[in-house]
Amino acid sequence: MKIRRLLIANRGEIAVRIIRACQELGITACAVYADADATALHVRLADEAYHLGPTAPAESYLSIPRLLAVAKEANVDAIHPGYGFLAENADFAAAVAKARWRWVGPPAAIIRRLGSKTAARKLAQAVKIPMVPGATTPVRSIPTAGKLAETIGYPVLLKAVAGGGGKGMRIVRTAPELSRAFDLAQGEARNAFGNGDLYLEKYIDAPHHIEVQILADHHGHIIHLGERECSVQRRHQKLIEETPSPFLTENTRRAICRAALRLMKAARYRNAGTVEFLVDHQQRFYFLEVNTRIQVEHPITELVTGIDLICEQLRISAGEPLRWSQRGIHNSGHAIECRICAEDPAQNFIPTPGFVTDFMAPHGHGIRIDCGIVAGSTIPMEYDPLVGKLCTWGATREVARAKMVRALQELRISGTITNVHFHLNALQHPLFLKGNYSTQFVERERASLLTAPIPNASHAVIVAAIAKALHQTDPTHAASAAPHPSAWKISARQQGVQHGMEFF
């Protein structure tokens, strides 16, 4: 059945991404928005936009009744949930199917089975995929957790069964720390997911986070599109991703992709999904979890495969067969993604919502930017601080990396602090250059990653600023010393200084 009208149950850059795919496929893109997003970019770009409710996520982007009511009002025939919010909510997927709309994702039963980390671990165990030693059922009391921790050996990691975004996760290094960590993790899991169930697994020291992109249709065809390395993280959340992984050997790459396919075949998976693994320094890999949705970092896979994953998701939901066999997939070159967030790396990455006074995107060969903001946008404090994703592609890793450094230097966001200079430091760090960094990279290299940026981006602006200063004391001198800075540059520089920005 062809999709004619699609409701995008999300906001920000992923809503923009899906709107663009709809418009390319001739599908009417219906956006939704909360009060704070009334003038947001996704609302402006959509073909139609529907008000959901107040800014609070619970009353808007997380409200199943509101979204269903709006889907009815908009007379859509499919719903794309994006990522985050209700993207992995099986009840929402089931309600959408019951109302006879297409859900752009796997069926509710698959989300339910793979969304529970313990249920997913059971399935991985059944198909003989290596797993981090630990529980395959929830651990309901501190004494039970203590016994299991003694068996597998400290350090261990307490994790939320319903987990996501690194929430409800606590490292426990010694037995006396266990009971406090258990209470804290349980409280955090209850707050974040409305479910305080925990389980426990061995804490792997400084692993790599490697994940495999899967596509599966409703006709029994399933393929993988290679792996992504996502080990640059803060608070167990990704900041930089690249593909292919500079760390994996060819043997490990083949084995991990085969394992991911085996698991998703066993789950009878449909649509786009990702199987996540941890890989230790000896290249031993362990199943971590499955994400039953499109991932933030999907563009880097698109760049190396040439496949538009959002368009494929929509085609699969419409019942079309996959257009590639595994043999038809040829990854070429190297791609890197930097997540651009309104957050302050120097203040433990706290979000820095605010008003974007100026914005200039980088351009050029091999540069892609997926963004939810423009100059004049407000970044609300109620939502995720991710405002965009800067991706580069190059024939080799070094070309992609050099393009990223150049693109980050060209990117201008004024009005609020962002993590752009953190990315510049990371991309030029010796460990990143070597391609030899683990999930402990940010923690261990904190000092060098968080240092103030060298303002090499804009020599011209510095010269202009000096000229301006000279002009104020001696206008005749300034005219000969350097060209006048444009009004834009002066205003951007003032904004930068005023808001402690990184780039001037």
By CB under 6 A, how many residues form the interface with ligand ADP? Answer: 21
Which listed residue (121, 253, 270, 293) is catalytic? 293
* Window contacting ligand ADP (CB under 6 A); options: 70-78, 197-205, 324-332, 354-362: 197-205
Task: Select from 84, 107, 163, 496 the one that contacts ligand ADP (CB under 6 A).
Answer: 163
CB 241 within 8 A of CB 300: yes
Q: Strand 412-414 vs strand 358-360: parallel, antiparallel, or unpaired?
A: antiparallel
Angle at 309 between CA 98 and CA 333, to 5 degrees: 160
* Window contacting ligand ADP (CB under 6 A); options: 166-174, 329-337, 420-428, 469-477: 166-174
Interface with ligand ADP includes 138 (CB under 6 A)? no
Interface with ligand ADP includes 229 (CB under 6 A)? no
- Comparing CB distances to ligand ADP, the nearer of 175 and 395 is 175
Q: Based on the residue annotation, tell me whether 412 is a catalytic residue of this protein.
A: no
Phi-psi region of 225 (alpha: psi -120 to 50; beta: other; left: phi over 0): alpha
Q: How many CB atoms within 10 Å of residue 54?
A: 14
Binding mask 436-465 for ligand ADP (x = CB under 6 A): ---x--------------------------
Residue holding tokens 């940026």?
Answer: 453
- Comparing CB distances to ligand ADP, the nearer of 21 and 62 is 62
Interface with ligand ADP includes 233 (CB under 6 A)? yes
Task: Select from 288, 303, 407, 501 the one that contacts ligand ADP (CB under 6 A).
Answer: 288
- Comparing CB distances to ligand ADP, the nearer of 209 and 315 is 209
- 108-137: which residues touch ligand ADP (CB under 6 A)? 132
Both tokens assigned to 120 = 């997913």
- Comparing CB distances to ligand ADP, the nearer of 134 and 366 is 134
CB 6 within 8 A of CB 317: no
- Smallest gap from Cβ 89 to ligand ADP, in A, equals 14
- Comparing CB distances to ligand ADP, the nearer of 300 and 407 is 300
Task: Select from 209, 228, 253, 421 the one that contacts ligand ADP (CB under 6 A).
Answer: 209
Interface with ligand ADP includes 273 (CB under 6 A)? no
* Window contacting ligand ADP (CB under 6 A); options: 50-58, 201-209, 266-274, 470-478: 201-209
C-alpha torsion angle, residues 127, 134, 444, 277 (rounded to 10): 10
* Window contacting ligand ADP (CB under 6 A); options: 14-22, 156-164, 363-371, 496-504: 156-164
The kind and range of the H/E element at 268 are none
Cβ density class 393-412: b for 16+ within 10 Å, e for less: bbeebebbbebbebbbbbbb
- Comparing CB distances to ligand ADP, the nearer of 115 and 244 is 115
Task: Select from 88, 217, 229, 276 the one that contacts ligand ADP (CB under 6 A).
Answer: 276
Rounded Cα gap, residues 503 and 360, in angstroms: 12
C-alpha torsion angle, residues 200, 203, 209, 210 (rounded to 10): -70
- Smallest gap from Cβ 260 to ligand ADP, in A, equals 14
> Within 13 A of 147's CA, how many CA atoms are on the CB side?
6
Rounded Cα gap, residues 53 and 61, in angstroms: 8
Cβ density class 62-81: b for 16+ within 10 Å, e for less: bbeebbbebbeebebbbbbb
Q: How far is CA 379 from CA 54, 73, 359, 403, 495, in A?
A: 16, 28, 13, 27, 16
* Window contacting ligand ADP (CB under 6 A); options: 120-128, 157-165, 365-373, 441-449: 157-165
Residue holding tokens 């313990």?
Answer: 118
CB 289 within 8 A of CB 120: yes
Binding mask 345-374 for ligand ADP (x = CB under 6 A): ------------------------------
- Comparing CB distances to ligand ADP, the nearer of 277 and 422 is 277
- Comparing CB distances to ligand ADP, the nearer of 383 and 504 is 383
Q: How many CB atoms within 10 Å of residue 89?
A: 18
CB 259 within 8 A of CB 285: yes
Rounded Cα gap, residues 219 and 101, in angstroms: 19
- Smallest gap from Cβ 41 to ligand ADP, in A, equals 27
Q: Which residues bind ligand ADP (CB under 6 A)?
A: 132, 157, 163-167, 169, 201-204, 207, 209, 233, 236, 276, 278, 288-289, 439
State the catalytic residues. Answer: 293
